[in-house]
Amino acid sequence: MRPFPSHHAEALIASDVRCAARIATEKLALAVLVWGATLLALVTVETSSARADGVASSLSLEWAAPVECSDADYVRGEIRRILSSAQSSFADTRVAATASVSHTEGVWRVDMTIEVEGSIGHRRFFGDSCRSVQDATALMLALTVNPHKVAAYRAGITPREPPPSQG
């Protein structure tokens, strides 16, 4: 029996090292791929949650009103309904609003301060019922957060529905 030439042994060892390095590289690439996919899934879930409740992250509302009109949750719900009727968008503007509601001689009045990106504006409007000033407040704030979503809502476009073709 002939002895195994050393250059063959060296070639086998080099081949084994290359094979081991390739396997390690493939395992590392697979681990990075799995990690990346997991991270992407987490980001997607987080983004979906933020989109689903975009009003909570885009709007801060303080509502001060007489007891018979104290339902700030109704206003927030209307804003959420209007804004979620169109596809989610990262174009939502962060808005902080304070609304002070009063009722005198049958007239409801809202004095609202709206802060958007450091600019402060004031709005005042009147209505004949609590619900009318709540609805006006919801519409005004929804328009401030994202006018495109309000336009889609007003046009009756629902999520995942393409706009009507013009043909």
pLDDT (0 to 100) of residue 153 = 80
- Rounded average pLDDT per 10-residue block, the chain, 167 residues: 58 62 64 48 36 64 94 92 69 92 96 95 96 96 91 68 51
pLDDT (0 to 100) of residue 8 = 57
Could you tell me the pTM of the whole model?
0.60
3-state secondary structure the chain: CCCCCHHHHHHHHHHHHHHHHHHHHHHHHHHHHHHHHHHHHHHHHHHHHHHHCHHHHHEEEEEECCHHHCCHHHHHHHHHHHHHCCCCCCCCCCEEEEEEEEEECCEEEEEEEEEECCEEEEEEEEECCHHHHHHHHHHHHHHHHCHHHHHHHHHCCCCCCCCCCCC
pLDDT (0 to 100) of residue 91 = 76
pLDDT (0 to 100) of residue 41 = 38
